[in-house]
Amino acid sequence: MTNTQQPTPKSSLAPVGGDRQTPDISRNAISQEIQNLNCTPAKYSHAIATFMRRRTHLSQYAQKALTDPSFAPYIINHGKVLGKLGDVSNIRDLQVLFKDTPNKENAPLTLEIGFGMGDSLVKMAQADRTRNFVGIEVHEPGIGRAAYLAHELGLTNLKVLNGDAIALLNNLPDEHLDTVQLYFPDPWQKKRHYKRRFVTTERMTLVADKLKTGGVFHSATDWEHYALWMLEVLDNMATFDNLAGKGNFSPRPDFRPATKFEKRGADYGRASWDLLYQKV
């Protein structure tokens, strides 16, 4: 299910899990929450993580990809100690990572933040071999799985990275990326957790800096409050042009495969909303 309409004023859809509050999804309430967040001093907001690392079982394939040196071409910071967050402090250029591949360093570059188990990212890289893709995640089973799939398919245009996307973005030069994609980011449903949402004015300013002029930020969510929240944040940024026109969601593009979280939401009857913004 895709949705280019405004979400209905009152959600009739049950959230996953029974213990979550029903958020106020009026535009005014969302706008007020965002303004409050924009007043948070940087010294506090910089310390807030957008992820919660989950301890989950590693499949034998993921484990092999994370530990076997033959997978080093697929995992940029391969060989780190399992269970620890990856270090991205010395990664300052993503294009250079492709210098020994058929595409070399000049192909258009997509960065996917939070690719989860990686199936949709791998499909996108498989479908467009002329483009270079880098995915960043903190979830080891997903990093291992994506690398394993890329290796099985012999993809030379996909690399994955273990680490915090914010730390990575801070290291990259400005005007470096052609596309940044963020599919079904953690919705952080409780009001006290809104500050952890990846889409905030501060974090999106960082994303905009790293995008080339004319580059695109693409997000999608099945969480109604977050869909409206993203629209409010991004429509109010002068650096971004809403490709569907201010106040509108975009039709779901054909090139975006369904993700694991999207399929899970659909099983609960949730629609999803796509947002596409170009850096001006």
Ligand X SMILES: C[S@@+](CC[C@H](N)C(=O)[O-])C[C@H]1O[C@@H](n2cnc3c(N)ncnc32)[C@H](O)[C@@H]1O
Q: Is 226 in the site for ligand X (CB under 6 A)?
A: no
Tell me how far, at minimum, the Cβ of 187 lies from ligand X, in Å. Answer: 7
| Closest distance of CB 264 from ligand X, Å | 8
Near ligand X by CB under 6 A: residue from 138, 172, 177, 234: 138
Catalytic residue (one of 128, 178, 186, 241): 186
Decide if 140 contacts 65 (C-beta within 8 A).
no
Q: Is 222 in the site for ligand X (CB under 6 A)?
A: no
Q: How far is the CB of 260 from ligand X (least distance, A)?
A: 4
Q: How far apart are CA 99 and CA 3, in angstroms?
A: 39
Please work out, in degrees rounded to the nearest 5, the angle formed at the alpha carbon of residue 161 by the alpha carbons of 213 and 271: 70
> In this chain, which residue has its C-beta nearest to ligand X?
114
- Candidates 30, 155, 165, 204; binder of ligand X (CB under 6 A) is 165
Residue 184 sits in the site that holds ligand X (CB under 6 A): yes
Minimum Å gap between C-beta 168 and ligand X is: 8
Q: How far is the CB of 102 from ligand X (least distance, A)?
A: 27
Long-range CB contact pairs, 88-91, < 8 A, 24+: 88/136, 88/161, 88/163, 88/164, 88/167, 88/168, 88/171, 89/167, 89/171, 91/161, 91/168, 91/171
Residue 149 binds to ligand X (criterion: CB under 6 A): no
Say whether residue 137 binds ligand X (CB under 6 A): yes
**The binder of ligand X chosen from 68, 128, 178, 186 (CB under 6 A):** 186
In whole angstroms, give the CA distance from residue 145 to residue 149.
Answer: 6
Residues 157 and 132: beta-carbon distance below 8 Å: yes
Which position among 188, 223, 261, 273 is part of the footprint of ligand X (CB under 6 A)? 261
Interacting residue with ligand X among 166, 208, 231, 233 (CB under 6 A)? 166
Of the pair 124, 234, the CB lying nearest ligand X is at 124
Is 186 annotated for ligand binding? Answer: yes
| Structure token digits, residue 223 | 């969480």
DSSP letters, 120-142, are: HHHHHHHH-TTSEEEEEES-HHH
Whether 186 is catalytic is: yes
Burial degree of 258 (CB within 10 A; 0-12, 13-18, 19+): middle
**Any contact of residue 33 with ligand X (CB under 6 A)?**
no
172-175 contact pairs (CB < 8 A, 24+): 172/92, 172/93, 172/94, 172/210, 173/92, 173/93, 173/210, 174/209, 174/210, 175/210, 175/211, 175/212, 175/213
Binder among 113, 149, 180, 233 for ligand X (CB under 6 A): 113
Q: Which is nearer to ligand X, 49 or 72 (CB)?
A: 49
Give the active site residues: 186
Question: Interface residues with ligand X (CB under 6 A)?
Answer: 50-51, 113-116, 136-139, 164-166, 183-186, 198, 259-262
